[in-house]
Structure 1
């Protein structure tokens, strides 16, 4: 992963963004020697957000199973039938 100072980002934003789009490699921006932000390609960011949404759905499903909040197949069909018409 590439690391850049915030002052470098201010001075060379166009170049840093061009490199980011070309390599698709995230850039860690630091301020005063500390991590401050990541720059990521838009397509990569959207892919990460979609994956996160899927993982959150899986986690909700796992929690429902652990809490015994599940339905039989027939109960699910009956509850979904109003949307499937």
Structure 2
């Protein structure tokens, strides 16, 4: 992704907020806002933000799973399924 054309001062965003939001809603790339020449914020559409958050959540789950594997906190799937079946039989019976 090339964000170089999407870097704008905050004054531009203030003056053109409705247009920027409409562009983002139409699929434009996120916009980096600067203040005194320094990057301060990123503005993006809500769908992209939610997708990013979902991706981060999945990566965190994956990292936690990898941590469990390294720490030896694993069991064979067959064993887990048998335990679930036994609990179901106990609850049904």
**Do they superpose with TM above 0.5?**
yes
Aligned length: 83
Residue equivalent to 1:17: 21
Question: Which segments of 5 or more consecutive residues in structure 1 lack a partner in the other structure?
Answer: none
Matched, 1:65 2:79: no
TM-score by length of 2: 0.78
Whole-Å separation in 1 of the counterparts to 2:78 and 2:62 = 22
What secondary structure, in the 3-state scheme, does the structure 2 residue paired with 1:23 have? coil
Flag as ranges the 4+ runs of structure 1 deviating above 6 A: none
Take 1:11 and 1:24, find their aligned partners in 2: how far apart are those partners? 18
CA RMSD of aligned residues (A): 1.8
Q: Which runs of 5+ in 2 are unaligned?
A: none
